Structure formats: structure tokens, C-alpha cells
Amino acid sequence: MERVEKLFDALWQDYTNRLCPSAAQVHDLLTEEEPLLNDHIALRTFNLPGVSLDVLAAPFIAIGYKPCGTYHFEQKKLYAEHFEHPNPAAPKVFISELLVGQCSAALQNTVRELVKQIPEGAMKDGAFLYGGRLWDLDYATYEQLAEESEYAGWVAAHGYGANHFTVSVNQLEQFTEVTEVNSLLRHNGFTINEAGGEVKGSPEVLLEQSSTMADRVDVRFTDGIRSIPGGFYEFAKRYLQENGELYPGFVAASADKIFESTNM
């Protein structure tokens, strides 16, 4: 568990410093007597050799995580898997990849060129997971990618890092409903992702989720610094399965809308 904590501490540092500076405020708003439980994080990549989902999963597998579910997002051309650790206190990990081969020839060429810039060996050590972008690009390239796939633009601009952490609503004393958490956040000036409704999922699918809209963060492009959507914060309430344990998986229809937390 020590190695799990070390990795998540590093992911949290990168997430709050680089992708979602408002996360510290959300964390403070919701923290009660006990430290907040992080339900899961999510990571994004391209399904190209050397940077695919499996490559991002490897450092988690190395510390005991196991693949536990697969998800398809046809419209967005994404494939995802989630990973769990034998210790239930360890956060789950949701990793998705863009199916680059299904995208336009232009997008494929651009993304291949970005990935070619990665220094030899940079993806071997798990530190790449919280090390940010391993290639350079200009703002027009980002815009072109984002026009075809918001997801492709996001990965191209930010590189590797947790795009969200997730507060476990089950743990909170003060709130039982995801809508109550949303109200507190709105009251403090945050914008909630309304795609598909402010709460995604239902007790029937054993998972309810909501999220903030991503912070706008400054990113250095080769032709200057621009402000674009970075990371966001998620809130998840899990329901008991028939076996008496909390549902541990994700819900594709809900995840499809959570992805949109990084839309412009």
C-alpha cells in the first residue's frame, strides 16, 4: 500500500499544480473529520505503440492493480479499462485510449508525429504518469486536433497526468446525495458539468456521478502560452450490489458524459 500511496501523492501533486489548481479548494470544501477518500482517477492516451492504454497501466499493474472492466465509446472513438487493487482503500484507475486508426488521416499523421518526439525510454519508469507532455506542438495543431476530437486535443496539449480525482460521496457525513455536493460547489462559484443532466447514472445502475467543468489552465505551445481546459473534480456515490459489496465498476453511458467535463 505504501507504493500505491507514493504514486497517488505524485499524481495529486501534478494534478493540482498543472491540470486543476482549483482541486485544492474543492478538497478543502468537502473535507470533514476524516481525510477524503479518492474513489478513482482517470488517465487518457492514444492507442499507438509505446503509449497505449497497456503502457499507462503497467506501473499500476506493477504495484498490484488488476484489469477489471472494459468500456467502449463508439461515437468518441475511445476504448477504456478500469483497474482495481486488492486493497479496497486503494483508488480505482480508469484508463482510456483514442482509437487513432478510426480518425482522419490528418489526425493520425499529427498524433504519430507527436508520439515520435517522445525521448527514448521516457515511458519506462512510472514517473511519466505525472510528468506532463513529452512533445512540443503549436496552438494551431492543438486547435485542429480538438476540432475533430476534443479528447485528442486534450492529450496532445497536456500529455500524461490524472485528469481528475474523485471524492467518494458515500464517505461524507454532511451530504448523502450527489446533488447536495453540486449545490455546495455551485454556491462556491464552480460550474457543474450538465451534459446528460447534473447527475449521471442512477441507483439502478449502482453508480451516480457528477463533475465540475475543467479549470482553464495556461499551457505552453511553441508559439506562446494559451489558456485551455485542464483537469476537473468528480463526485461518485456507489450503491450496494446483491453480494453486499459496493458496485466497483464504471457505467459507460455516464462515463461518456464525464469525458465532456474538458469541453471548451
With respect to ligand OOG, which residue has the nearer C-beta, 26 or 109?
A: 26
What is the secondary structure of 189-212 as a DSSP string?
Answer: TPPBP-TT-SSEEEGGGTEEEEEB
What cell does 254 get? 455516464
**Residue 209 interacts with ligand OOG (CB under 6 A)?**
yes
At a CB cut-off of 8 Å and minimum separation 6, what does 256 contact?
73, 75, 76, 196
Measure CA of the first residue to CA of the last residue in the chain; give whole Å: 37
Q: Which ranges of the chain does DSSP label H, i.e. alpha helix?
A: 2-14, 23-30, 53-61, 105-116, 139-148, 150-158, 178-187, 252-258
# residues contacting Ni ion (CB under 5 A): 2
Options 16-24, 111-119, 212-220, 253-261: segment touching ligand OOG (CB under 6 A):
253-261
With respect to ligand OOG, which residue has the nearer C-beta, 185 or 258?
A: 258
Residue 210: name its binding partner from ligand OOG, Ni ion, none (Cβ under 5 to 8 Å by kind).
none
Residue 110: name its binding partner from Ni ion, ligand OOG, none (Cβ under 5 to 8 Å by kind).
none
User: 209 pairs with which residues across the strands?
Assistant: 200, 236
**Residue 39 interacts with Ni ion (CB under 5 A)?**
no
Residue among 14, 84, 215, 234 that touches Ni ion (CB under 5 A): 234
**Residue 163 interacts with ligand OOG (CB under 6 A)?**
yes
**Structural element, H or E, at residue 78:** strand 78-84
**Residue 168 interacts with ligand OOG (CB under 6 A)?**
no
**Residue 181 interacts with ligand OOG (CB under 6 A)?**
no
Residue among 16, 38, 96, 141 that touches ligand OOG (CB under 6 A): 96
**Residue 256 interacts with Ni ion (CB under 5 A)?**
no
Residue 259: name its binding partner from ligand OOG, Ni ion, none (Cβ under 5 to 8 Å by kind).
ligand OOG
Sign of the alpha-carbon dihedral angle for 206, 96, 13, 88:
positive
Residue among 44, 85, 133, 158 that touches ligand OOG (CB under 6 A): 44
Residue 59 and residue 122: Cα distance in Å, rounded? 13
User: Which is nearest to 263 in space by CA: 209, 191, 201?
Assistant: 191
Interface residues toward Ni ion, by CB under 5 A: 42, 234
Residue ranges in contact with ligand OOG by CB under 6 A: 42, 44, 94, 96, 163, 209, 234, 250, 254-255, 258-259
